[in-house]
Structure 1
Amino acid sequence: MAIVSETKLPGVGVRQEFSTAQGNIIGVLNHHDGRRDIMVYDSVDPDKCTSILHLDPDDTRTLASLLGASQITESMGAVQQEVEGLAFEWMTLPADSVAVGATIGDGMYRTKTGCSVVAVLRNGTSIPAPGPEFGLESGDTLVAVGTAEGLDRMRELVIP
């Protein structure tokens, strides 16, 4: 599996990038409002995009389904559209995260940020509604729900 780098873009969302097995650099800009931009970077100038694909939330769900995304991801995208002021964020835990080896309860995320971990994606498996005793591992993707500001605070807590 490729290493994904993440860059928080205050007021916009999160940009994630990785290199494919063929050496292409792909980026995905996850906007707080559910839109996604998929970027393919130039092989000579990595600061330049050769192509950008703008997806609305419906397009994102369709593409994710075609690529084999988990059912929980699809379902949560539908909920996101229906609830104003509510945002979802997917946060992949790197090995050096303070959350690795701790439980959800240890992190006190809801108390500190007002956000809840509603699912964990681990090794291609969805674990819905994990309890406070659920232990976190490197590579886990936390699916969190809350306000955009709360999710920004949560990201600061779990991703160095």
Structure 2
Amino acid sequence: MVKLDETPLPGVGVRYDFDGRFGKRVGVITHRDGRREIFVSRRDDPDACAQSIVLSDEEAEAVADLLGGSTITRHVSKLTQDIEGLAMDWVNIPGSSPYAGKPLGETMMRTRTGTSIVAVMRNGQAVPAPGPEFRLQSGDTVVVVGTPEGVVKAAKLLEGGDVR
């Protein structure tokens, strides 16, 4: 029987993972905003993610159906979080972002979405608490904190979409 580990990720969601048969760790992160992320990592370092795929609601349902569904799927839909009303997510800056190459302050993130960028990951290095002069680059991953709705708006804003 597979031993499934459940790890609360305060402000993010819940991580479910297990040791796979061929030396890999396989899991799903269920984000507070409902997104599901499938990942594969090394067994000896479960935080060293080798591959991840973010699924839409429809894609997650299709994969669950293909795999036969389980009690985990029902359990995940009923999750409550440790910090009500607070969400945190990692958002990738695509090359098509209107903010790639621009200072963080030009996003007007807090004013437009009610969220804050609390860190930026660049080339495997964390830049905590970047100031408004910090220039975003294509390929950066920003850590956004705010309400679940605000985090969704922030991702849309950074990807070049409408946040209304």
Q: If the TM-score is normalised by the length of the shorter chain, which range does it land in?
A: 0.5 to 0.7
Q: What CA RMSD, in Å, does the superposition of the two structures yield over aligned residues?
A: 3.6
How many residue pairs were aligned? 106
1:88 matched residue in structure 2: 88
Distance 1:51 1:125 in 2: 39
TM-score by length of 2: 0.53
Tell me, yes or no, if the aligned pair for 1:37 and 1:52 is still in contact at 8 Å. no
Q: Which runs of 5+ in 1 are unaligned?
A: 1-12, 14-25, 42-46, 55-80
Return structure 1 stretches of 4+ with deviation > 6 angstroms.
51-54
Q: 1:38 to 1:109 in 2, by over 3 A?
A: same
SS at match of 1:127: strand
- Displacement of 1:39 in angstroms is 6.9
Tell me, yes or no, if the aligned pair for 1:117 and 1:129 is still in contact at 8 Å. yes
Q: Which runs of 5+ in 2 are unaligned?
A: 1-12, 14-25, 41-52, 54-61, 73-80
SS at match of 2:144: strand
Distance 1:144 1:131 in 2: 14
1:158 matched residue in structure 2: 158
Tell me, yes or no, if the aligned pair for 2:33 and 2:148 is still in contact at 8 Å. no
TM-score by length of 1: 0.54
Q: 1:138 to 1:82 in 2, by over 3 A?
A: same
Distance 1:131 1:148 in 2: 23
Distance 1:89 1:151 in 2: 7
Q: Percent identity?
A: 49
Q: Map 1:3-152; keep pairs closer than 5 Å.
A: 30-32=30-32, 38=38, 48=63, 49=66, 82-152=82-152
Q: 1:27 to 1:101 in 2, by over 3 A?
A: farther
Which has the higher Rg, Structure 1 or Structure 2? Answer: 2
Q: 1:117 to 1:94 in 2, by over 3 A?
A: same
- Displacement of 1:83 in angstroms is 2.9
Distance 1:39 1:123 in 2: 20
SS at match of 2:117: strand
